[in-house]
């Protein structure tokens, strides 16, 4: 990592201390789990506002065309035997990770639906807009010992937008990703192909290509404590046989993990992997995570469904386990911290929240490129709205 306080980022703003005040320490937010162990905060049942799809070319479509349908192998058979390495690398079209999309696709959805948002006029102005994946990182922060994060924040027309910035360490790791790790990433997507059909009631087609440009994203409304949230998350598939067909309760998250043999391996899985699975699925209201366990040869030979609301039971009596209250209380505290820190309404002003394991969250301030992330097309279209006369309903509406 870059040593602190040595480089001056382009456009970084130096805050001058007013002469009539004592110097105030730079604000920061601690992340120790012990500080967040109160009761579970209010979290509104996430409701889906809409969705969008990204196609094989990563082009946006305001519909559900990329949604796939849960199609597990028949339960009466001998169990699965999925070769996750099949098709690698010749039938693999990986997404270009150099392209930093930031909030762009979600902002396009928001721009096209801003007139029909529920919650009444002004709801958006009080909300936080972000990706589900960014919130997942916040939820797991009190327990994370490996990877830090950076979140850029801008306030615009009242709304607080949060967009992740890849850390230098994450960028270095991505560029030097070992071949085995690349193949492991492919295997996760290949599992989805074995478990999903393109049509309800259809069968999976593992002969096709794995193209990770394709994505179905659900857009949801929720609230954590007093923080209204509008966020979007990628959904693996919907279960046509789910007890309720209402999204997000019909959605299924698919995961792969190494086959486990000893109680110690299960314990470690519950402490680390299940935390990430829980945080991701709980936020979006996905009720079940279906795990495929792979053997050393890369074959899935068993499946297990983990209901999201039962995951905590596996660590409830574990002194080294995780606690959902800590995750949610920390996230709520961070959102309050961000709301109180980002005071100025300016789409070109960025507060960068940075965190490294073992340290508190710190803040630095930037103007314009490279950190400003709200695109001109979005800012301009939203600004136009304000100068237009209010729309009078016509008989045709
Ligand atoms: P997740 O929970 O981490 O999978 O992330 P989200 O569900 O919030 O996905 C938000 C958007 O980011 C979607 O368009 C995804 O296709 C995309 N996305 C998911 N994982 C990654 C990643 O590792 N890198 C980048 N750049 N984008 C990703
Ligand atoms: Mg998945």
Nearest protein CA to atom 13 of ligand 1, as residue: 234
Nearest protein CA to atom 1 of ligand 1, as residue: 133
Nearest protein CA to atom 8 of ligand 1, as residue: 133
Is a pLDDT exceeding 70 seen at residue 278? yes
Ligand positioned closest to the Cα atom of 292 = 2
130 and 231 in contact (C-beta within 8 Å)?
Answer: yes
Surrounding ion ligand 2 within 5 Å at CB are: 236, 254
Nearest protein CA to atom 15 of ligand 1, as residue: 234
Q: Which of 181, 216, 229, 234 most suits a substitution to test ligand 1, by most atoms within 8 Å of the C-beta?
A: 234
pLDDT, mean of residues 359-383: 98
Is a pLDDT exceeding 80 seen at residue 240? yes
Confidence of residue 181 (pLDDT cuts 50, 70, 90): very high
Rounded distance between C-alpha atoms, residue 394 and residue 75, angstroms: 55
pLDDT tens-place string over residues 123-155: 999 999 999 999 999 999 999 999 999 999 999
User: Over the Cα atoms of the chain, what is R_g?
Assistant: 22
Q: Within 6 Å (CB) of ligand 1, which residues are found?
A: 97, 105, 131-133, 136, 215, 217, 233-234, 280
Average pLDDT, the chain: 94
- Residue 5 CA to ligand 1 center (angstroms) comes to 31
Is a pLDDT exceeding 60 seen at residue 9? no
Is a pLDDT exceeding 60 seen at residue 18? no
- Residue 117 CA to ligand 2 center (angstroms) comes to 28
- The total of other beta-carbon atoms located within 10 Å of residue 98's CB is 8
Domain boundaries, the chain: 28-380
**Percent of the chain with pLDDT strictly greater than 90:** 89
pLDDT tens-place string over residues 73-103: 998 888 999 999 999 999 999 999 999 999 9
Question: What's the length of the chain?
Answer: 397
Sheet containing 60-61: order of strands: 28-29, 361-367, 349-355, 149-156, 159-165, 128-131, 227-234, 215-224, 47-54, 60-61
pLDDT, mean of residues 332-343: 98
DSSP letter at 372?
-
Rounded distance between C-alpha atoms, residue 159 and residue 161, angstroms: 6
Confidence of residue 6 (pLDDT cuts 50, 70, 90): very low
pTM confidence score: 0.94
List CB contacts of 318: < 8 A, sequence separation 6 or more.
Answer: 267, 270, 271
Is a pLDDT exceeding 50 seen at residue 14? no
């Amino acid at each position: 990592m870059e040593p602190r306080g040595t480089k001056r980022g382009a456009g970084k703003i130096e805050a001058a201390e007013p002469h009539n005040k004592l110097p105030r320490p730079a604000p920061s937010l601690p992340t120790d789990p012990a500080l967040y162990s109160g009761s579970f905060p209010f979290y509104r049942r996430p409701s889906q506002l809409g969705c969008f799809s990204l196609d094989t070319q990563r082009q946006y479509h305001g519909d559900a065309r990329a949604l796939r349908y849960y199609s597990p192998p028949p339960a009466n058979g001998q169990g699965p035997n999925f070769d996750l390495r099949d098709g690698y690398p010749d039938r693999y079209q990986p997404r270009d990770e150099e392209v930093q999309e930031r909030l762009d696709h979600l902002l396009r959805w928001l721009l096209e639906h801003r007139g029909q948002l529920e919650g009444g006029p002004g709801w958006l102005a009080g909300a936080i807009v972000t990706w589900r994946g960014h919130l997942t990182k916040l939820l797991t922060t009190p327990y994370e010992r490996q990877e830090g994060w950076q979140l850029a924040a801008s306030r615009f027309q009242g709304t607080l937008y949060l967009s992740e910035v890849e850390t230098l360490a994450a960028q270095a790791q991505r560029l030097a990703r070992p071949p085995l790790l690349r193949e492991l990433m492919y295997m996760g997507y290949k599992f989805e192909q074995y478990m999903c059909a393109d049509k309800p009631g259809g069968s999976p087609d593992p002969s096709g290509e794995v193209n990770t440009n394709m994505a179905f994203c659900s857009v949801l409304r929720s609230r954590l404590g007093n923080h209204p949230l509008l966020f979007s998350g990628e959904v693996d598939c919907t279960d046509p046989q789910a007890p309720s067909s209402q999204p997000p309760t019909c959605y299924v998250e698919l995961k792969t993990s190494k086959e486990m043999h000893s109680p110690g391996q299960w314990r470690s899985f519950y402490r680390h992997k299940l935390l990430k699975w829980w945080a991701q699925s709980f936020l979006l209201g996905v009720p079940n995570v279906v795990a495929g366990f792979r053997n050393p040869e890369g074959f899935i030979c068993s499946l297990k469904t983990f209901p999201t609301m039962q995951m905590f039971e596996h660590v409830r009596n574990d002194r080294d386990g995780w606690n959902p209250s800590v995750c949610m209380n920390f996230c709520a505290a961070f959102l309050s911290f961000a709301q109180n820190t980002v005071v100025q309404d300016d789409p070109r002003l960025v507060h960068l929240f940075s965190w490294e394991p073992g340290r508190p969250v710190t803040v630095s301030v930037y103007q314009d490129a490279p950190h400003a992330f709200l695109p001109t097309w979005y800012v301009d279209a939203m600004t136009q709205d304000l100068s237009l006369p209010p729309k009078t309903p016509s008989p045709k509406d």
